[in-house]
Amino acid sequence: MQSSRTGQTRAILNTVQDRYNTLQQIEQQMIELAQLFQDIDALILQQDFPVTQIEQKGEEAVQNLSKGNDEIAAAVTTARKTRRKKWICFGIVFTIIVVVVVVAVAYIMINKAKGNDMSKRTVE
């Protein structure tokens, strides 16, 4: 009977020691987990400033793109107006050249006609 009690006691002792060892492992894992959370928190704090800067740079890029699009639209409008004015100037210059040529031809024709009249009068 005593040997059976001793066997039961040893079995209970082994069970209690196993539970104690399991609790020690759980406690150690919880300590490691808490340390991991602290490490992650430190990493998050370290990355906060660069992430904020990246976000600001992204917002600046969006604003710059918007301004760039506005400036391109203005440049396109200006280029169209400039081309139109260039063609208007070309038309004016062409018209002036045509008028000068017509006037020169008319002047030459009139002078030839006067020259012919003068030569006819002197012959008669």
**Helix/strand/coil percent split, the chain, to 5:** 100, 0, 0
**pTM recorded for the entire structure:** 0.49
pLDDT at 124 over 60: no
Q: How far apart are CA 42 and CA 54, in angstroms?
A: 19
Span 96-119, average pLDDT: 88
> Buried (b) or exposed (e) across 65-86, using 16+ Cβ within 10 A?
eeeeeeeeeeeeeeeeeeeeee
State residue 1's pLDDT score: 62
pLDDT digits (tens, 9 = 90+) for 40-65: 999 988 998 998 999 999 999 999 99
For residue 84, pLDDT over 80 is answered with yes
